[in-house]
Structure 1
Amino acid sequence: MGYKISNTLSQLKVLELLRVKIVSTEGIGGLNLLEYLSLNVTALMNASDLWRELKNLKNLRFFRLVVRDDNVIPLGLISNLHKLKVFGFTAVGVRDEREEKEFVKELECSSNLEELWVVITTKGALNKLLNSTKLQSCIYGLALHDVGGQVNGLLLLAIMSKMKHMKYLELSDLKNEIDLSVCDTCRLSMLQDIYIHDCNTIRHLTWLKYAPLLQELYVLCCYSIEEVINGEIILEEDEKDTIFPSLEVLILRKLPNLWSIHETILSFPSLKSIHVADCENLKKLPFDSNLAKAKLRLIKGFQEWWDNLEWDDLATKATFHSKFLELQPL
């Protein structure tokens, strides 16, 4: 069903539209008291008309825009929203590199922007972002999708460490363009959630040991990953509590070369659930009986994987058995 915005709502200060098809933008520019706007658009008949109407929302302070059409970038919009402090933009599909660079430049020039959640899909736009101290200071959520060309992984991690407010990071479809197996210069002090999908040059995720507030880690379809934390890094006894101290959810799926989370026992003081599927070479979990007494409630995986897990002793296996839930094949 199409959605037409009526100017009878002119006194609204908050508007949230979820999964709508916008067939007409008539009237939205008249909502001049609007301060909070969240749009999740499944189809947009004329993007330029929408941007023109939205430019009139001079009191807008919060704007979240999700567009599911290909190649939709709100060029010329943000520079007209002078009170905008929080902006989130997600769009599915391939983008024009020149337009995306212009969009990032426009974000950089936004005078009041304090919090930014954004998806980047081209190398030119990524380089523009990585060279902008202003944008680095207000990044709260960053997603890199199918960024073409060779990207310096060491430089990327070093600059992400400067994003002092970044809570969410997503790396998707970065097949042969980037290697994030480096870790020496990385400090992700505020990172809480990370989603890694189809990144096939990453061998391990040791750099995440520098994310002390990380709560959820999703790693899917990364065929090159062999370890989560590199086993060559020797941990002192007091360091084991500093690896993933806040991690609550760990999801590992379709990682055929993954053989280790870490070679030694980790304490995982906050872990509540771990889901493992299609990781046939992961034969051992870095758990001991102390974890079973902590917050861990669920180990989810296929029965064959569970039956083939190796344990230091039968008592430890028995301790965790009650927490195992069998995944059903699709």
Structure 2
Amino acid sequence: MDAEFIEFERANANRGNCLLRGLERLKFYFMWNMKEVIWKNLDPKYVFPRLQVLEFYDCPKLKSISWVVNLPCIQKLSVHGSKVMKQLLCINELESSGIIVSPQSFPFLKKLILMDLFELEIISDPIITFPVLEVLEVLCCDKLKKLPFKSSKPPKKLESIHGSIEWWNNVEMEDGSSKSSLQPFFKKY
């Protein structure tokens, strides 16, 4: 299967009968033409209420995965190999598709891995939070200059930020503050 998009639609179905409700791991591999996942009259949290691990590998046309924000149990999110993605998570996209962003976005996300996202400039809008993020890995995302949190308020459980020294030297803080308080977390690849 190599479609331009994957569509989930609620067509007069009882959302409690969804066959994917017990799914804990989902991987999209080698989806060369997939540009997006479309949600019609359905919130992703009702389809994947137990999803813990979500991985996208070699989906070069993938533009955004904003829909993952409200997945209630997501613990690990990996995105590798998009040649067009500029922003990982965008509130405007969610609102235009009718998805309401929870004020407690990503309550369980511990690991965020971003690799080979050559056009990525922004991880998320400031309203999106990563309260329990432990590990952030960034490799070959040279246009990404900002972290998804302030240096004065890193996630409480942050253990490490992995990346190249060149990338780390170019990181700027969203609030204009110094990233020196985050230096102990940085680990070079």
Q: TM-score range by the shorter chain?
A: 0.7 to 0.9
172 and 291 in structure 1: CA distance in 2 versus 1, 3 angstrom threshold: same
Q: What does 1:126-275 correspond to in 2, within 5 Å?
A: 147-148=1-2, 150=3, 152-155=5-8, 162=18, 163-176=20-33, 178-183=34-39, 185=42, 186-187=44-45, 188-232=48-92, 241-264=103-126, 266-275=128-137
Q: Deviations over 1:61-119 (max 9, x none)?
A: xxxxxxxxxxxxxxxxxxxxxxxxxxxxxxxxxxxxxxxxxxxxxxxxxxxxxxxxxxx
| Residues 16-165 of structure 1: pairs in structure 2 closer than 5 A | 147-148=1-2, 150=3, 152-155=5-8, 162=18, 163-165=20-22
Which entry has the higher C-alpha Rg, 1 or 2?
Answer: 1
What does residue 38 of structure 1 align with? none
Q: Distance in 2 between matches of 1:183 and 1:299?
A: 32
Number of matched residues? 173
Say if 2:167 is the partner of 1:314: no
Letter paired with 2:144: L
Instruction: Give the 4+ runs in structure 1 shifted more than 6 A.
Output: 156-159
Distance 1:296 1:228, change over 3 A: same
The offset of 1:194, in angstroms, is 1.1
RMSD, aligned CA: 2.6
Which amino acid letter does the alignment assign opposite residue 254 of structure 1? D
Question: Do 2:77 and 2:109's aligned partners in 1 also have CA atoms closer than 8 Å?
Answer: yes
1:223 is aligned with what amino acid? K
Paired letter, 2:81: C
Compared with structure 1, are the counterparts of its residues 269 and 241 closer, same or farther at alpha carbon in structure 2 (3 Å cutoff)?
Answer: farther
Cα 1:321–1:266, aligned 2, differ >3 Å: closer, same or farther? farther
CA distance in 2, matches of 1:216, 1:167: 11
- 8 A contact 1:189–1:210 mirrored in 2: no
Residue 156 of structure 1: how far off its partner (Å)? 7.5
Residue 281 and residue 253 in structure 1: after superposition, are their counterparts in 2 closer, same or farther (change >3 A)? same
CA contact (8 A) 1:212 1:244 kept: yes
Going from structure 1 to structure 2, the CA distance change for 1:231 and 1:308 (only over 3 Å counts) comes to farther
| Distance (whole Å) between structure 1 residues aligned to residue 86 and residue 10 of structure 2 | 20
Secondary structure of the residue aligned to 2:172 is coil
Matched AA of 2:121: W
| Greater relative CO (CA pairs within 8 A, separation 6+) | 2
Gaps of 5+ in 2: 96-100
Please give the alpha-carbon distance, in whole angstroms, between the structure 2 residues aligned to 1:157 and 1:226: 29
The alignment-based identity, stated in percent, is: 27
Do the aligned partners of residues 156 and 307 (structure 1) sit closer, same or farther apart at CA in structure 2, a change above 3 Å counting? farther
Q: CA deviation at 1:201?
A: 2.6
Quick check: which one's helix share is greater? 1
Aligned to 1:291: 154
Cα deviation digits, residues 284-324 of structure 1 (max 9, x gap): 112122225x0001001001111111112334x12111111
Work out the CA distance in 2 between the residues paired with 1:210 and 1:265: 13
Unpaired segments of 5 or more residues in structure 1? 1-146
SS at match of 2:31: coil
Secondary structure in structure 2 of the residue aligned to 1:325? strand
- What amino acid sits opposite 1:319 in the alignment? S
1:282 matched residue in structure 2: 144
Matched residue, 1:10:
none
